[in-house]
Structure 1
């Protein structure tokens, strides 16, 4: 990527601090009560639900251990990620995304109109994935996003498919725990994801940066979906803004753990009981960094709005409904180029 040019330079307010605050208090949650039958009982599951509820309310971020995802599978996909990004730019661009299909390779993603210091390869969980053709609310036409198939590394598609299956299993388990923590039926969210979900997996590569105090791997943002499951390798870089004191906190590395964060959809479904946390990724001048997030998204026809069970006279609905598919396509269409208008956000659907 070369030297930092003006496209990458963050506003002073958003630039990373050289002094890093690491927080041990970001919750680390043991999922053994739902992944290990030997320790599963009603008492341990009840305690787990309380832990999830606390983490969602106080942070919107937590890490999970004993999650049931095979370590060998994670090692395979991390190795494949390094192999893919280790190719020449010419080879990687053979599977570039385009205006018609959002899946594939690109290195021009923007967060709030500032270019991110990273390269990306995106792949939908369900190939093909049905999405609206345009963002026009009056246009009912649909299209498909399909996966690119790199020639290298070998069997990349099969490795992704196997890993995505495990991510989906973990996502459903976590959404059940979140539902229970809100006082809902365990399977309350399942209907939105059982058919035609729009989930996808992303491979991130953050090269070394000559001026890490000026650029960010990903600028400050909130995730738009329901849930994000992140695998980060041996180089830390993810930071979350703690809403209590507005400080940027570096998420510590825990071997084989997954970092979980809530997205905007859960914030809306919960009617602001839980909040989608703001986070960012910092880069450094000495080590490149790789990460693999899985974004758990509902079907494109989903109408996102606060759940009726969580609305009453004392707690009226805080959001107008919005169509998930239109929202998703709008964000993908505008994330990889600089734009004049602000990106669509859930606060635009807030009832004042």
Structure 2
């Protein structure tokens, strides 16, 4: 399999070592242990977690704790502002980056507000009103004037998490029996984004969800959650909703639709949701790793054979993404396109 460079883990000897939770919980993968052992061990752990759960947590991962704390502080300061201030950077049909809440999308049952920004700024995406041709448009991030350090904190934090995400992609690739860099080329001129979620206390938590059940359309999602909790995943073995317990300074990682297609269903994008409560606000910050707009998504040919033929039609990522964004604003007669719509029918 070859050695994977794990030198990114910094000063681990000086970090407090985190206790791993019980095995029946979502798997926890410790990069401290893996950095002192065989690369095959961590590759095997990630492969098993992707097959059984589609989710895992990583600890001792090398992302500086001070950046995470600063990011959490900036997030709270931004969302604590009056709604009139937040709306100065609200998103719209022409640009999906910026602030929005459930009141301004079709997902009116979601009890949350959000700020989105792209890791590449500006970036090219297909024009939403011209999905049948190759017309592109440029979108740029919308940054608020306050907090003063908000933009800098967002950019520094997301770049560090992005580095972790790409290291995880290499490990996922190795776990599929592929070269570590097999997926790298898809992310040149990437469309990856970071989302800051704020879930206020809800007076009627039985009537709403922070986010309804869904699957991520990303390749991988790398998420930080605070100590309030609320994320639940649908366990593959029995369909039960399982809470993901907060672990200090951990990241939650989940397989998205793109890896499900690339792996030809070896790994599955798993449903998850967020529940809310009456007493405490909650923050979470996912970084969604997304390929370039021109990339066509289809099962990787190295994983296919007569016994395992391709299960998906090819789709263009940029047009798929633009179609999903358009569906957030315009009522449509059909459901937003999902990867199960692209399944091939085999005899």
TM-score calculated relative to the size of structure 2: 0.90
Match of 2:123 in 1: 129
Q: How does 1:259-298 map to 2 (within 5 A)?
A: 259-298=252-291
Pair 1:225-2:221 in alignment:
no
For residue 25 of structure 1, report the CA deviation from its aligned partner: 2.3
Judging changes above 3 Å, is the alpha-carbon distance between structure 1 residues 108 and 198 closer, same or farther for their aligned structure 2 residues? same
Distance in 1 between residues matched to 2:120 and 2:64, nearest whole Å: 21
Size of the aligned set, in residue pairs, is: 324
Match of 2:138 in 1: 144
Q: How does 1:65-144 map to 2 (within 5 A)?
A: 65-108=59-102, 113-134=107-128, 136-144=130-138
Q: Relative to structure 2, which stretch is displaced further, 104-113 or 68-77?
A: 104-113
- 8 Å CA contact 1:111–1:219 kept in 2: the answer is no
Pair 1:175-2:149 in alignment:
no
SS in 2 for 1:292: strand
Distance in 2 between residues matched to 1:29 and 1:50, nearest whole Å: 11
Q: How does 1:143-222 map to 2 (within 5 A)?
A: 143-193=137-187, 195-222=188-215
Distance in 1 between residues matched to 2:105 and 2:268, nearest whole Å: 20
For residue 115 of structure 1, report the CA deviation from its aligned partner: 3.1
| Deviation sequence 1:157-194 (CA, Å, 0-9, x none) | 1111111111111011100110011000010000011x
- 8 Å CA contact 1:130–1:144 kept in 2: the answer is yes
Match of 2:40 in 1: 46
Judging changes above 3 Å, is the alpha-carbon distance between structure 1 residues 148 and 232 closer, same or farther for their aligned structure 2 residues? same
- 8 Å CA contact 1:23–1:251 kept in 2: the answer is no
Which segments of structure 1 move beyond 6 Å, counting only runs of 4 or more?
Answer: 109-112
- 8 Å CA contact 1:231–1:257 kept in 2: the answer is yes
TM-score calculated relative to the size of structure 1: 0.89
Judging changes above 3 Å, is the alpha-carbon distance between structure 1 residues 209 and 23 closer, same or farther for their aligned structure 2 residues? farther
For residue 110 of structure 1, report the CA deviation from its aligned partner: 8.4
Judging changes above 3 Å, is the alpha-carbon distance between structure 1 residues 24 and 52 closer, same or farther for their aligned structure 2 residues? same
Q: Relative to structure 2, which stretch is displaced further, 149-158 or 250-259?
A: 149-158
Distance in 2 between residues matched to 1:289 and 1:338, nearest whole Å: 30
Judging changes above 3 Å, is the alpha-carbon distance between structure 1 residues 323 and 127 closer, same or farther for their aligned structure 2 residues? same
Match of 2:28 in 1: 28
SS in 1 for 2:224: strand
Distance in 2 between residues matched to 1:128 and 1:263, nearest whole Å: 24
Judging changes above 3 Å, is the alpha-carbon distance between structure 1 residues 218 and 64 closer, same or farther for their aligned structure 2 residues? same
For residue 329 of structure 1, report the CA deviation from its aligned partner: 0.9
SS in 2 for 1:121: strand
Listed as ranges, the gaps of 5+ residues in structure 1 are: 1-21
Match of 1:9 in 2: none
SS in 2 for 1:312: coil
Distance in 2 between residues matched to 1:184 and 1:135, nearest whole Å: 38
- 8 Å CA contact 1:192–1:298 kept in 2: the answer is yes
Match of 2:53 in 1: 59
Structure with greater contact order relative to length (CA < 8 Å, sep ≥ 6): 1
For residue 331 of structure 1, report the CA deviation from its aligned partner: 1.1
Listed as ranges, the gaps of 5+ residues in structure 2 are: 1-21
- 8 Å CA contact 1:92–1:105 kept in 2: the answer is yes
